[in-house]
Structure 1
Amino acid sequence: MELKFNNRDPVYRQVIQYFKIQIAKGTLEPGEEIPSRRELANKLKINPNTAQRAYKEMEEEGLIFTEGNLPSRVTKDKQVLRAVREELIMEATETFIQTMHAINVSLDEVVQRVTDNYQSHLEEGEKDDRS
């Protein structure tokens, strides 16, 4: 579990964002068991109360669920999983658009550069697959 914390955002929010990204990428599968709060705190070297707060919020958002004394698991709710992915896409898009707007890049140039760059990444991935 690799997570580099920044000094801007509360640690528990960064933990939640990490889990969202892992869920959206498919690294964490629906129904998959996640570390206990204590395990997470030890792995990330954070206060156990911070881990508890992150898990509490993720449960409230429906990202994870805990039944009785069993380990917490990633939700199986497809609607929640789609919403997580959509949220991450919208956040990344908004940041990108704000940056492009701030440096006065035209829509045509943005579209062309994104298209070219995306295609380049696809071609690189194909090369890697053939290696």
Structure 2
Amino acid sequence: MLPFEVQHQPGKPVSEQLVYAVKKAVAQGRLRPGDAFPSVRTLSREMRINPNTAQKAVSQLTQAGILEIQPGIGTRVREQAVISQDEMAALMEKPLEALVVEAKRLGLSEGQLVARLRSTWKNLNR
């Protein structure tokens, strides 16, 4: 089982979807620095994708500073994985949109939603 979930989106390259899913897992803490990352062979088998596609995604993640390849050990999440503020914002876009849609459906005002968000943020930081 892979330590991240890929939401398949028709028309979008699978390698991009895989890169996004890994960045999201790192941002959420599901993949932590030092964690082993699946091999290209494992990725291609588990996701049922071409090994070249899996290799392309791993290369992109390595170049982006998310993964590092350690000869004789394997691929791991870098100790200081780099995710930019823009990438973090992009990762939050869909969940935030879903939150706002649900709040509107329930009849909450923007102020009420912000107040609940602040309250939840404070509770999680305790």
TM-score between the two structures when normalised by the length of structure 2: 0.70
**1:37 aligned onto 2:40:** yes
Query: 2:104 — aligned with what?
Result: none
Q: CA deviation at 1:68?
A: 1.6
2:74 counterpart SS class = coil
Task: Report the CA distance between 1:116 and its aligned residue.
Answer: 4.2
Query: What corresponds to 2:103 in structure 1?
Result: none
* Per-residue deviation, residues 23-72 of structure 1 (Å, max 9, x unmatched): 11111110110110110111111111100000011111111000223210
Q: Secondary structure at the match of 2:70?
A: coil
Q: Specify whether residues 60 and 39 from structure 1 end up closer, same or farther in structure 2 by C-alpha distance, changes over 3 A only.
A: same
| Structure 1 partner of 2:70 | 67
- The 3 A distance-change label for structure 1 pair 113 and 44 is farther
Counterpart secondary structure, 1:73: strand
C-alpha distance 44-19 of structure 1, shift in aligned 2 (>3 A): same
1:87 correspondence with 2:86:
yes
Name the counterpart of 1:19.
Answer: 22
Quick one: which amino acid aligns to residue 37 of structure 1?
Answer: V
Q: Which of the residues 53, 58, 61 maps onto 2:61?
A: 58
Root-mean-square deviation (CA, aligned residues, Å) is: 2.9
CA drift at 1:92: 5.0
Q: 1:59 and 1:75 mapped to 2: Cα distance?
A: 9
SS at match of 1:66: strand
Contact 1:21 1:88 in 2 (8 A): no
Structure 2: any 5+ residue segments left out of the alignment? 101-108
Please identify which structure carries the higher helix content. Answer: 1
Q: Distance in 2 between matches of 1:77 and 1:36?
A: 20
Report percent identity of matched pairs: 26
CA contact under 8 A between 2:27 and 2:88: conserved in structure 1? no
* Structure with more of its chain in strand, by fraction: 2
Structure (1 or 2) with the larger CA radius of gyration = 1
